[in-house]
Amino acid sequence: MVVTVNARILLLKGFQDFENSNSKKAPITVPTHQSRYHHHHHQSSLCKPLLLQSPFSRLHSLLGATNLSATTGNNRNKKNKVKQKMKEKAAATASEAVVKRRTRSGKEFDEKTFMRYGDSATHIPVMLGEVLDVFASVPLLSFVDCTVGAAGHSSAIIQAHTEMQLYIGLDVDPDALQKAQAQINTILHGDSSDSTSKLKGHTFLKNYRHIKYVLREVDEKLLTPGVNGILMDLGMSSMQVNNAQRGFCVRSNGPLDMRMNPRASLKAEDILNSWPDVDVGRILREYGEESNWHSLQDQIVKARQKGGLHSTADLVDLIRNSTSRRKGGRQGWIKTATRVFQALRIAVNDELNTLKETLYTCFDCLAPGGRLAVISFHSLEDRIVKQTFLNIINSDRGDENKEVKCTRDLREINDDDDDDDDDDDHDGDEEAWIRQQIRGSNGIILTKRPISPSEEEERFNCRSRSAKLRVIQKV
């Protein structure tokens, strides 16, 4: 019931006149069996039957009910607005905390350098300036790029270190390696100067887990002193993502492949259509960190009864239909699809187990004073790099007691810690890019917190925004 202020005044006045004109009439008699309403005098007049009230009282009650309803609605709206504001404030605070945790690179972004060693259509080397800084102070006589890709990082490092005598590049992708070989050969043989005349370059179509075997193949004695620098860029190149036939892209239709090494046997299609539903769910939950994993698992199993999933479009349609009614709309299902594709890619290529194993192997291959730099692109990779680096600097691989101690140390290290009194903090004599260190008996972690790209680089290359750089040095 909606009554304006002026209308309420007129109505009240009219009923009040009516009640006064009838005030001399006999009062309404209340039956004995209804007298119980008078014993509850503390209750509102709304609790009295309206028929037992005078016309003026009835109108007053109705108007009061209207006011009460409106007041309750207004209070509810206010409470909802307060809750919404609190949620927004909490989200903003959390977002600010994440930004605060990030150790932004202080390196000035040089677009010309990026374009010189990269191609915006195929691949842009991520955090190129930061990687060059990592190895700038190291006499880089020997260098290994475990994920050579389009050779953007390698080309820049080779030309920055004229003292380099041995270069080795590895990749499991034959298309990427072919492009890298052409780029490296141009640097090695296209320049008539003496700066690269002593440099021997080798490229191998190998997974980086085989780095020791590759070094032995190049030179049996190479492992004794070790190499001076190793780089691992764990991200996919744009030429892989943009090729629909590789099956990595959510927005392009292609086969459910997702193999980094086209010669490998396992495909994403095999996992979706053949693996036990429990294993499919585990992959989505652990590798994709997808909260809706159980529902997606059920939908994937049901799809098998209708012929299975055989293209990226089939999988995207399944995800869209499973998440379109959930909060988030289009962005909701795209984010879910991205997590699902990530999970399948990790499972197909056994990326996390390979990474952990290779980090130990790469450190073993370093010479004293040598550095290992790793660029990761999602939290699962970064956690493994962080934990493994801590284990490496303080323990031997076979010492379980020290392994437990290092795990405890990891929990004690908080990325929010801004304590400038730490003994391992950056000293004035150190390189400018080093801010906080963690020293151990076997090595030094030069990045207590990972370095993330500058804001300028993120604007130039949006795919770099999740990159994190961690560096360890052997003692």
Whether 335 and 284 share a structural domain: yes
Strand 438-439 and strand 451-452: pairing? unpaired
Whether 380 and 300 share a structural domain: no
Q: What are φ and ψ of residue 371, in 5° steps?
A: -125, 145
**Side chain identity at 158, as an amino acid letter?**
I
In whole angstroms, give the CA distance from residue 234 to residue 109. 21
Question: What pLDDT, on a 0 to 100 scale, did the predictor assign at position 269?
Answer: 97
**E strand or H helix at 371:** strand 366-376
CA distances (Å), 422 to each of 298, 406, 411, 425, in order? 50, 18, 17, 5
Domain count, the chain: 2
Whether 279 and 160 share a structural domain: no
Domain span at 463? 111-238+352-395+433-474
Whether 326 and 264 share a structural domain: yes
**Side chain identity at 414, as an amino acid letter?**
N
Q: Which of 323, 350, 377 is the last residue of a domain?
A: 350
Half-sphere CA count of 449, side-chain side, radius 13 A: 20
Question: What pLDDT, on a 0 to 100 scale, did the predictor assign at position 26?
Answer: 47
Helix crossing, 329-349 with 277-286: angle to 10°? Answer: 110
Each residue of 164-174: b (16+ CB within 10 Å) or e? bebbbbbbbbe
Q: What is the pLDDT along the chain (475 residues), one digit of tens a residue?
A: 444 545 455 445 554 554 555 544 444 444 444 444 444 444 444 444 444 455 545 545 545 555 555 556 667 777 777 766 676 666 555 544 444 456 888 888 777 777 778 765 567 899 999 999 999 999 999 999 999 998 999 999 999 999 999 999 999 999 899 999 999 998 888 755 555 568 999 999 999 999 999 999 999 889 999 999 999 999 888 788 889 999 999 989 999 999 999 999 999 999 999 999 999 999 999 999 999 999 999 999 999 999 999 999 999 999 999 876 555 555 678 999 999 999 999 999 999 999 999 999 999 999 999 999 999 999 999 999 999 999 999 876 434 344 434 433 443 444 434 444 344 454 445 789 999 999 999 999 999 999 999 999 999 888 899 999 999 999 9
Whether 448 and 322 share a structural domain: no
Which positions ≥6 away from 227 have C-beta within 8 Å? Answer: 142, 143, 144, 166, 168, 215, 365, 366, 367, 370
Q: What is the CATH classification number for the domain harbouring 144?
A: 3.40.50.150
Does any domain span residue 8?
no
Which is nearest to 280 in space by CA: 351, 340, 355? 340
Each residue of 302-336: b (16+ CB within 10 Å) or e? ebeeeeebeebebbbebbeebbeeeeeeeebbbeb
Q: What is the CATH classification number for the domain harbouring 281?
A: 1.10.150.170
Whether 178 and 234 share a structural domain: yes
Whether 374 and 469 share a structural domain: yes
Which is nearest to 191 in space by CA: 152, 157, 142, 158? 158
Q: Is the dihedral of CA 326, 337, 321, 285 positive or negative?
A: negative
Q: Which of 350, 381, 409 is the last residue of a domain?
A: 350
Whether 209 and 313 share a structural domain: no
Whether 234 and 301 share a structural domain: no
Does any domain span residue 98?
no
Burial of 203 (0-12, 13-18, 19+ CB in 10 A): buried
Q: Is 179 helix (H, G, I), strand (E, B) or coil?
A: helix
Burial of 75 (0-12, 13-18, 19+ CB in 10 A): exposed
Question: What pLDDT, on a 0 to 100 scale, did the predictor assign at position 109?
Answer: 79
Question: What pLDDT, on a 0 to 100 scale, did the predictor assign at position 462?
Answer: 87
Q: Is 144 helix (H, G, I), strand (E, B) or coil?
A: strand
Which is nearest to 261 in space by CA: 379, 373, 350? 350
Q: Looking at residue 461, what DSSP letter applies?
A: -
Half-sphere CA count of 107, side-chain side, radius 13 A: 23
CA distances (Å), 150 to each of 115, 170, 183, 228, in order? 13, 11, 8, 22
Does any domain span residue 53?
no
Question: What pLDDT, on a 0 to 100 scale, did the predictor assign at position 417?
Answer: 40
Whether 294 and 228 share a structural domain: no
Whether 234 and 312 share a structural domain: no
In whole angstroms, give the CA distance from residue 435 to residue 147. 27
Whether 266 and 124 share a structural domain: no
Q: pTM for this one? A: 0.73
